[in-house]
Amino acid sequence: MDLRALCRPSMLRLCASLGDTIFLLVRSGFDAVCLDRSEGPFPIRSFTGDIGGRVALGIGQGSLAILALLPEAEREEVIRFNLPRVREFGVLDEVYLRTEIDRVRQLGYAGRNTGLLEGMAGVAVPVLDREGRAVAALSVGTISSRLSPDRLPTVVELLQREATAIGARINPFDSTLRRPAQSLAPTDSA
């Protein structure tokens, strides 16, 4: 079973229980690629857009969750390569990026109620394989009013529960982990 098929039931459960849009992001070189998306009822904007969209690692909650948990040498290489790319967003600099990475590493999730996309909020957790490597992220994209401090712990807990269950079942030989674009053929939607 490939990663997209493995994650689909979790994404559908999360979308149904939370009522928000759920994203599955995977690393592809210095980027994160949206491998799947389960649409919630609230209209949102995201950095990756739809399935197949790419964003530099470090931009958006899902890609930040992946970046933060890469091995240190890989993380440093990505930061050096992506720093000029993330600066294009205007408010991101190296200090901000490193502060956010440290925050994710401490909390175990990336989350912001306000950010670069006005009125949008997101929270993401890394999906770790059996060896503890960040291979993907499950992310919730929603409107800011739906990610209150009271609701955030519940959202994080549900994401982490699904990510843990997925991580234990990841096939280390899944080609999606090496070539995510090849697995972007359409699937049955939610």
Residue 64 tokens read as 């930040």
Give residue-wise pLDDT tens across range 125-158: 999 988 888 999 999 988 888 888 999 999 999 9
Q: pLDDT value at position 190?
A: 40
pLDDT band at residue 51 using 50, 70 and 90 as cut-offs: confident
Residue 41 has pLDDT above 70, yes or no: yes
pLDDT band at residue 34 using 50, 70 and 90 as cut-offs: very high
Phi-psi region of 45 (alpha: psi -120 to 50; beta: other; left: phi over 0): beta
Q: pLDDT value at position 14?
A: 96
Sign of CA dihedral 5, 52, 27, 17: negative
| pTM tops 0.75 | yes
Judge contact between 137 and 68, C-beta under 8 A. no
Residue 41 tokens read as 């009822």
CA dihedral 115→68→141→136, nearest 10 degrees, is 160
* In the chain, where the domains are located: 3-170
Range in 28-32, 71-75, 118-122 the model is least confident about: 118-122
Q: Which fold has domain 3-170?
A: Beta-Lactamase (3.30.450)
Amino acid at 11: M
Cα dist from 66 to 17, 29, 81, 105, 118, whole Å: 24, 12, 16, 10, 23
